[in-house]
Structure 1
């Protein structure tokens, strides 16, 4: 079972420490979330810096809100990062649900799903080296991976899950094992219905905080603030895993469901958590 680290967003200056410790440990991926109207680092910029400070570990958007971005520029940025990291970019994509993010980007939140569906064929075409169209030529550079970086889709609704089979390489499930089971089955079924070869890559995500009570409380406060917009942040925070045993049991449960990787998302700022998680594994 591959295990990655989801990075905290509260202090971008500490992320190099997190990345270097994760690279030295048993971890396979560094993940970073995306918001626009929030005090978080822009993920493509931040992950480019972290990729330059590492040599092995993958860098993953978790998830990038593609509808907030210009499609042609997004194709160029992601192909550049994929090429310069030697194929270490994993592009997790989603649509987001915050009105303020979309308002700031000048995008109608009611059209965000439709916009992503329109973006994907353009991204795939540009990553493959084809012209943009309407008298506009190709947009380089060529990605390291033929056809572009690996694409995972996050989401829960049927239309979001269907995107995995239509355009993606895998699925990112930010859900507990009891919920992820059905999501995984749906994604696998649609993958077969679309005649895709092989199997979708399945990545699970859970929130963790390991350390003294201060570390756990810091993580809970940060996560509570992040999910305040939902109206049910207490429910979200209650699922955070705070003991090595709970982390190990969850990883085992995801493995039993067929997950290929588990991302352990950390909201607390203490980078010693990387070593504690490594010891827990």
Structure 2
């Protein structure tokens, strides 16, 4: 099981300098990947620029979006931007994509929230086309590998048909494990060779000194869910033992990698997670 870590790029107040320091420390401590997520109408840094900056200060660690809301832009713009970051990173980028779930992000981008699923299907088909000869004349390099996020039957179909694998949402292992089998079965059913790349997500915080800050962020970020936001606070792993248990559960489910999303914008969270799971 590979262990990755996400940037604090959607945590309000986290500076640009912290993003690059985070990437450097994550590489030093041996994480497999450093990942950036995406919200438009929420404070924070956009994922692809953060990953471009990370590419400039690292040389080995994998870089990924997990996830980027593809229908907020066009397939051609996304392909050009992703291929640019992949070129800067010398092939270390993986593009985790999803159709999005927040209507306010689409309103801010002047995009049609109701048509996002159809748009996303078209984008995946276009990205697949641009990964071939068609992209050679307009892109600075190859479109990076693509993972599709989501738990729906459509997400399973998209991952098997258009992508290199699937990335699960940050829910409890028992909620995402069944979809692993579905993705693998659909992958085989459509005649794909090999096996899909499977990535899981989890939130975390470590240390009493960040507990209030971390819980406040989780509560605010999931505030759109109303009272259910409090359950996200309660279910966030916050001890080395619980984090290791979650890794074991997700490994048993068949995942190749788990990316831990910090809920406190403190560089100490990189070291504490590394001490808990990489030592």
TM class, shorter-length? over 0.9
Q: How far did 1:72 drift?
A: 1.1
The equivalent residue for 2:188 is 192
The equivalent residue for 1:236 is 232
SS at match of 1:265: strand
SS at match of 1:59: strand
**1: CA distance, partners of 2:127 / 2:166:** 18
SS at match of 2:94: strand
SS at match of 2:273: helix
1:211-226 matches, within 5 Å, as 211=207, 213-226=208-221
The equivalent residue for 1:250 is 246
Contact 1:76 1:140 in 2 (8 A): yes
The equivalent residue for 1:142 is 141
**1: CA distance, partners of 2:105 / 2:176:** 27
> Which segments of structure 1 move beyond 4 Å, counting only runs of 4 or more?
none
Q: How far did 1:129 drift?
A: 3.1
**2: CA distance, partners of 1:138 / 1:125:** 13
Q: How far did 1:33 drift?
A: 0.9
Q: How far did 1:219 drift?
A: 1.2
The equivalent residue for 2:5 is 5
The equivalent residue for 2:84 is 80
Structure 1: 5+ residue stretches without partners:
132-136
Q: How far did 1:138 drift?
A: 3.8
The equivalent residue for 2:165 is 170
1:270 aligns with 2:273: no
Contact 2:151 2:176 in 1 (8 A): no
Q: How far did 1:201 drift?
A: 0.7
CA RMSD of aligned residues (A): 1.4
Contact 1:126 1:138 in 2 (8 A): no
Scaled by the length of structure 2, the TM-score of the pair is 0.93
The equivalent residue for 1:100 is 104
Show CA shifts across 1:180-223 (max 9, x none): 22010111111111111011111111111011x23122111111
Scaled by the length of structure 1, the TM-score of the pair is 0.93
Structure 2: 5+ residue stretches without partners:
none
1:119 aligns with 2:123: yes
1:62 aligns with 2:66: yes
Q: How far did 1:255 drift?
A: 1.0
The equivalent residue for 1:210 is 206
Contact 1:16 1:50 in 2 (8 A): yes
**2: CA distance, partners of 1:115 / 1:5:** 29
**2: CA distance, partners of 1:230 / 1:57:** 34
The equivalent residue for 1:134 is none
